[in-house]
Structure 1
Amino acid sequence: MRQDRNYSDVPGTYVMDGAHARQGYPLNMFCMSLNQSINRAAYRADPSGYLDTYALSPAQRKAVEARDWVGMLRLGGNIYYTFKIAIFDGLSMQYIGGEMSHISEAEFRQMMIDGGRPPTPENLFTKTRRGSSDG
């Protein structure tokens, strides 16, 4: 069972600690396999059969099939590895960032050009953490 850490309640943040890395290992290994053209061809030919060769949890498999980018991160995916699926699909990092931020690719790109989203208490900490002395 995963132990809550003092960083567990930062909204939208999935810290890659040891527990998260272990949880995501099969997902990340699937993603890394897409570096090889032979594996990309196998996945393209039979996505379900190819996914069967990895010990993905049902939730991880569902997230991959749905291209639930945030879901993959929640389930232990590392953004550098899960982005390999986006590359496989012909998607840009700006597109994925927009999907995760609920804005268009063009809006996300402009936000990055403009210096990003300003930090606010709402996007830094949950209500319980905002009032604590360790946050």
Structure 2
Amino acid sequence: MTEARDNYLNDLTATRRGYAINRLCASLTDPDNRRRFTADEAAYCDAHGLSPEQKRAILDRDWTGMLDLGASIFYTFKLAVLDGKSMQHLGGVFTGMSAEEFTAALRAGGRRFG
């Protein structure tokens, strides 16, 4: 798994780099696509033209790795939901906390910057 970072820049370069991951994740809003993905995740990744690195990140559920490869949290969350993961779970992954710690930090007012 990739280590958490402080931030991710979602600029045009990242958007282009992550297009295939984002397109795959967006497709999971359709029940038929969710069934196809669940039946054979690797084949579904191949059908969406993912690079080997992107495919590995999806199959391993390397959430931070997906962002490193240009994915958007808004799209990767669709995959997380399919796995029964909450936004708090992902927030914890991205900040190096547990879901419970992340939720407690939000309730305490969130992160404070500089």
Relative to the length of structure 2, the TM-score reads 0.90
Does residue 72 of structure 1 match 2:66?
yes
* Aligned residues: CA RMSD: 1.2
Distance, in Å, in 2 between the alignment partners of 1:35 and 1:29 is 11
Aligned twin of 1:102:
96
Distance, in Å, in 2 between the alignment partners of 1:45 and 1:57 is 20
Does residue 92 of structure 1 match 2:86?
yes
Instruction: Please report how far the alpha carbon of residue 26 of structure 1 lies from its aligned counterpart in structure 2 after TM superposition.
Output: 0.6
2:42, 2:55 within 8 Å by CA — same for their partners in 1?
A: no
Relative to the length of structure 1, the TM-score reads 0.77
Higher relative contact order (CA 8 A, sep 6+): 2
Distance, in Å, in 1 between the alignment partners of 2:58 and 2:28 is 13
Aligned twin of 2:53:
59
Which amino acid in 1 is paired with 2:69?
A: L
Structure 2: stretches of 5+ with no match in the other structure:
none
Does residue 83 of structure 1 match 2:77?
yes
Distance, in Å, in 2 between the alignment partners of 1:53 and 1:118 is 42
Distance, in Å, in 1 between the alignment partners of 2:29 and 2:51 is 22
Does residue 33 of structure 1 match 2:27?
yes
Instruction: Please report how far the alpha carbon of residue 104 of structure 1 lies from its aligned counterpart in structure 2 after TM superposition.
Output: 1.2
Identical pairs, percent: 43
Aligned twin of 1:117:
111
Q: How big is each residue's C-alpha offset from its partner over 1:40-73, in whole Å with a ceiling of 9 and x where there is no partner? A: 0001111111111011111111111111111111
Aligned twin of 1:128:
none
Aligned residues: 110
